[in-house]
Amino acid sequence: MTEGDLAAVRAGDRRALARLLTQVENQTPAAEAALAALFPHTGRAHLIGVTGAPGTGKSSLVAELAKVLRRQGESVAIVAVDPTSPFTGGAILGDRIRMRDLAGDPGVFIRSMASRGALGGLARTTADAVQVLDAAGFNRVIVETVGAGQSEVEIARTAQTVLVVEAPGLGDEVQGIKAGILEIADVLVVNKADLPGAETALRALRASLEIGHSAARRDTAAGWTPPIVATVAVHGQGLEELAGALDRHRDHLRASGADNARERARLAGDLESRLRGALYQRLLAQLEPGQFAQTVDKLQLRELDPAGAVRQLLEAAGPLS
Amino acid sequence: MTERRIRVLIAKPGLDGHDRGAKVIARALRDAGMDVIYTGLRQTPEMIAEAALQEDVDVIGLSILSGAHMALAPRLLELLRANGQGEVPVLIGGIIPGEDVPALKAAGIAEAFGPGTSTEAVVAAVRQAAARKWAKE
Ligand SMILES: Nc1nc2c(ncn2[C@@H]2O[C@H](COP(=O)(O)OP(=O)(O)OP(=O)(O)O)[C@@H](O)[C@H]2O)c(=O)[nH]1
Ligand SMILES: [Mg+2]
């Protein structure tokens, strides 16, 4: 990555951008350098997370939302994350199937990513990809992830506005609510409102929102009740309303100062996890070769307990150089 | 640094509505540990070239059953070159008659598979094509 490449990324060169995203995905040293250089130019885009159970219509919805945003003159980048198979390490990234209407629009950039080994549905590198797209000047960066436990928390940290998608007929409306999904939702969507059961899903959501509202994201609880929007993504219905709700949420974040609080929490969380990783690497480097594995052996033989193992390894590593 | 995965785009140009073969290949490539971007039916060469650019793929696999391969494939190659992606190998499968293969290869298609090619052979060819591209980077 030369300085020229970085300038090209910031100037909207799609090939340079795509190549940098590959570097980011592979966590190369070049990517690290590029992310450092781009960091001052981040923090401008509206970061929107879209999550929900498989098949609820997230990709269809993202495509329709992008169309509305494009009509408003906004440029849109989409990161679509699909799960990596834990057995083969490969992935089928199929979200573009639902986004074909966006083809040929120079104001839209779509990138598919595999979740790789990352816990939950959010690739470890997704947050970095979002940073690159933000620095590349897109007004909105939308991240689609399959909602599965941990990923919801991750997306809540990365995105400014989190959209949770439900759909009737999956039999898991209640389960979704139980999984604490309401706690991360800034906007709730009942998609497939054309299908039977949509009314029931809407009612169930409304009811649980009333009960669970105190559990809404702490930093925005004041003055923001997540709106519930009914959509039919395949017919483009309800999308203007959805785009309006997303804008209102962003305005609310700004007006209340919650955007700063959220960003601070995100940066702190990111710093913490980086520190954790770096410290761990340093510690490992200061141990004798094989010492980690030997400690595991001792644990297995019950010659050592886990907390004792930590003490022993920390002592053996000595002060961090 | 994490291990680099092969990113392969499986595309289905043309107007025929059968993507069973493309899906079988996509799954086989996934099972071989690749990241497979699947874009669905009725893709124009323009759409394929654009997706290949945004996704920065290492290999493109086309499944063409409509018989329009002699028109679609050279058009895609032309678009890729115009995008600065001339180095991305393009493989074709589907119902490609043997007598068309030399012309396709002359046009710049890396590999053309006739009906009945095993998925193993396709996986191996994609691996080799990606390795050749990476070697030139
Ligand atoms: N009836 C109806 N079907 C819809 C609607 N929106 C999406 N679908 C269909 O639902 C299916 C899944 O849509 P996707 O957009 O791929 O859903 P997704 O949530 O992105 O799926 P994953 O990424 O696999 O989790 C497709 O067959 C869509 O055509 C809708 O509003 N009404
Ligand atoms: Mg999807």
- For chain B, domains (ranges, CATH) are 7-136 (3.40.50.280)
Instruction: Let me know whether A195 and A275 are in one domain.
Output: no
Judged by DSSP in three states, B63 sits in strand
Distance CA A144, CA A51 (A): 6
Instruction: Let me know whether A114 and A218 are in one domain.
Output: yes
Instruction: Please tell me the number of the ligand nearest to residue B40's CA.
Output: 1
In a domain, A263, yes or no: no
Average pLDDT of A235-240? 97
In a domain, A266, yes or no: no
Instruction: Let me know whether A84 and A201 are in one domain.
Output: yes
Q: How many other C-beta atoms can be found within 10 angstroms of the C-beta atom of residue B102? A: 10
Q: How many other C-beta atoms can be found within 10 angstroms of the C-beta atom of residue A191? A: 28
Tokens 């874009």 label which residue?
B39
Of A256, A285, A304, the residue at which a domain comes to its end is: A256
In a domain, A219, yes or no: yes
Residue A213 reports pLDDT greater than 70? no
Instruction: Let me know whether A195 and A119 are in one domain.
Output: yes
Instruction: Let me know whether A54 and A114 are in one domain.
Output: yes
Nearest to B31 among A19, A90, A96 (CB): A90
Instruction: Let me know whether A170 and A222 are in one domain.
Output: yes
Instruction: Let me know whether A284 and A199 are in one domain.
Output: no
For the ranges A200-209, A251-260, B118-127, the lowest mean pLDDT is seen at: A200-209
The type of residue at B92 is: I
Higher model confidence: residue A157 or residue A292?
Answer: A292
Using a 10 angstrom Cβ sphere, with 0-12 exposed, 13-18 middle and 19 or more buried, the burial of residue B95 is: middle
Q: Which CATH number is A179's domain given?
A: 3.40.50.300
Chain B residues closer than 8 Å to A96 by CB: 37-40, 51
Under an 8 A CB cutoff, do B54 and A110 touch? yes
Instruction: Let me know whether A127 and A91 are in one domain.
Output: yes
* String of DSSP letters for A56-69: SSHHHHHHHHHHHH
CB A62 within 8 A of CB B6: no
Residues contacting B69, CB < 8 A, separation 6+ = B62, B92, B94, B96, B100, B104
In a domain, A124, yes or no: yes
Identify from B12, B35, B48 which residue to disrupt to test chain A contact, counting A C-beta atoms within 10 A and taking the largest count: B35
φ and ψ of A231, to 5 deg: -135, 155
Looking at the CA of residue A191, tell me the nearest atom of ligand 1.
Answer: 31
Instruction: Let me know whether A221 and A297 are in one domain.
Output: no
pLDDT for A278: 87
Identify from A112, A116, A126, A132 which residue to disrupt to test chain B contact, counting B C-beta atoms within 10 A and taking the largest count: A112
Tokens 């999550």 label which residue?
A51
Residue B122 reports pLDDT greater than 60? yes
Residue A179 reports pLDDT greater than 80? no
Instruction: Let me know whether A195 and A222 are in one domain.
Output: yes
Of A206, A223, A256, the residue at which a domain comes to its end is: A256
What is the best residue among A79, A81, A189, A234 to mutate for testing ligand 1's pocket, by most ligand atoms within 8 Å of CB?
A234
CB A80 within 8 A of CB A91: no
Of A227, A256, A285, the residue at which a domain comes to its end is: A256
pLDDT band per the 50, 70, 90 thresholds, residue B94: confident
Q: How far apart are the first and last CA of chain A?
A: 30
Identify from B55, B119, B134 which residue to disrupt to test chain A contact, counting A C-beta atoms within 10 A and taking the largest count: B55
For the ranges A197-206, A305-314, B119-128, the lowest mean pLDDT is seen at: A197-206
pLDDT for A121: 42
In a domain, A65, yes or no: yes
Higher model confidence: residue A134 or residue B68?
Answer: A134
Question: For A69-119, how does the pLDDT look when each residue is reduced to its tens digit (9 = 90+)?
Answer: 999 999 999 999 998 888 899 999 999 999 999 999 999 999 999 988 654
pLDDT for A37: 96
The pair of structure tokens assigned to B54 is 């945004």
Tokens 């992935």 label which residue?
A91
Looking at the CA of residue A195, tell me the nearest atom of ligand 1.
Answer: 1
Instruction: Let me know whether A127 and A51 are in one domain.
Output: yes
The pair of structure tokens assigned to A303 is 């010659």
CB A292 within 8 A of CB A313: yes
How many A from CA of A61 to the centre of ligand 2? 9
Work out whether strand B111-112 and strand B90-94 pair parallel, antiparallel, or are unpaired: parallel
Which chain residues have CB less than 5 Å from ligand 2, an ion? A 58-59, 95
Q: Across chain A, which distance is largest between two alpha carbons, in Å?
A: 67
For A88, which DSSP code? T
Number of domains in chain A: 3
What is the best residue among A98, A152, A164, A235 to mutate for testing ligand 1's pocket, by most ligand atoms within 8 Å of CB?
A98
Residue A171 reports pLDDT greater than 80? no
Q: What percent of chain A has pLDDT over 90?
A: 60
Parent domain of A277: 271-317
CB B104 within 8 A of CB B54: no
Instruction: Let me know whether A252 and A288 are in one domain.
Output: no
Q: Which of A94, A24, A21 is nearest to A63 (CA)?
A: A94
In a domain, A277, yes or no: yes
Chain A residues closer than 8 Å to B27 by CB: 92
Under an 8 A CB cutoff, do B1 and A28 touch? yes
Q: How many other C-beta atoms can be found within 10 angstroms of the C-beta atom of residue A266? A: 17
